Copies of this chain bind each other. A is one copy, B any other.
Amino acid sequence: MQHNIKKIGVMTSGGDAPGMNAAIRAVARACSYYNVKCVGYYRGYQGMIEGDSIELTARSVKNIVSEGGTILKSARSTAFRTKEGRKKAYDNLVEEGVDAMILIGGDGTFTGGMIFSKEFDIPVIGVPGTIDNDISGTKFTIGYDTALNTVVEAIDKIRDTASSHNRLFFVEVMGRDAGFIALNAGVGAGAEEILIPEEDLGLDRLLESLQRSRRSGKSSSIVVVSEGDKIGKNVFELAEYVTENLPDYEARVSVLGHMQRGGKPSCFDRVLASRLGVKAVELILDGQSNVMVGVSDNNLIVTNIEKAVKGKHTINKELLRISDILSV
């Protein structure tokens, strides 16, 4: 490849996700392989504004492929929403000699990068990293598969006690406005009912479904509730509502919370992150900019970053049907 790239910057932004470190490692090692320098910025755009950075070499990223979190840390930056903030960030890149930036994050991260790239004519490449899987232009985002396993393992444990006590559990999972985690982890954990933002089941049908479930001989039940669910009640109100209307149910609530963001990445996420990280570097050396690299049908694909931000990654509603059949 002919190019005049001498140094590539990389950062992680938005909610952290398992596999971000594997992606950072892939970027740093691909840079080393192609004889390009690599610098990591701490805390996303905030570190770019503050010039808070560290040189990344092939050796300095060793053994992080298996670590959760992000060694570059992550943050939200209000300063970067201002022209002044972005100007500072750009000046720091120029001073440091950074020719292009790789942005590991989600929608918000890419929107910022898109504006920045246009304003200052600097190449940016997006790498989708979020547990929510809510990004267009890729079938899978880094961290999503690990989060699914974390949720399923937690619900397996909850199932043990639910089943010992013949109880009904409402388990709230993450996912922002998307139901990917709830739907897939719900099917994986054998949940009796799954509530996601994309489909409003309605309170009446929930009660019906739970009654049917008990009549069919089930002594315990799990309802997985997405945090973005639109049923009009939060998970605690939901549990109360159900207990009031179905008095023979003893209901409990579990909010899985931030543990869903951490943990050692699954093999799937490590391989995905490794492939996307290497490809991001190669895209830069190939003269590309303003694109996001993703995966579809196990092949890497490249999408205009604007299209990725504006597009919508819709869930597969077939799974809702599967869930209905399986909770018979």
Interface residues of A (CB under 8 A from B): 12, 15-16, 18, 25-26, 29-30, 32-33, 43, 58-59, 62-63, 65-70, 73-75, 139, 145, 148-154, 156-166, 169, 184-185, 187-190, 216-218, 252-264, 266-268, 270-271, 274-275, 278, 296-298, 300, 316, 318-319, 322, 325-328
Contact = CB atoms under 8 A, between A and B. Distances in A.
A196 to B, nearest CB: 15
A30 B48 CA distance: 37
Contacts of A69: 159-161, 163-164
A253 to B, nearest CB: 8
A151 B326 contact: no
Nearest to A266: B149
A185 B266 CA distance: 10
Contacts of A63: 159, 163, 190
Contact of A189 (B62, B65, B156, B185): B65
B58 A268 contact: no
Nearest to A300: B318
A192 B162 CA distance: 31
B68 A326 contact: no
12 contacts: A12-B164, A32-B328, A58-B216, A59-B217, A65-B190, A69-B164, A70-B164, A158-B262, A161-B261, A188-B267, A252-B258, A271-B319
A170 to B, nearest CB: 11
A305 B192 CA distance: 33
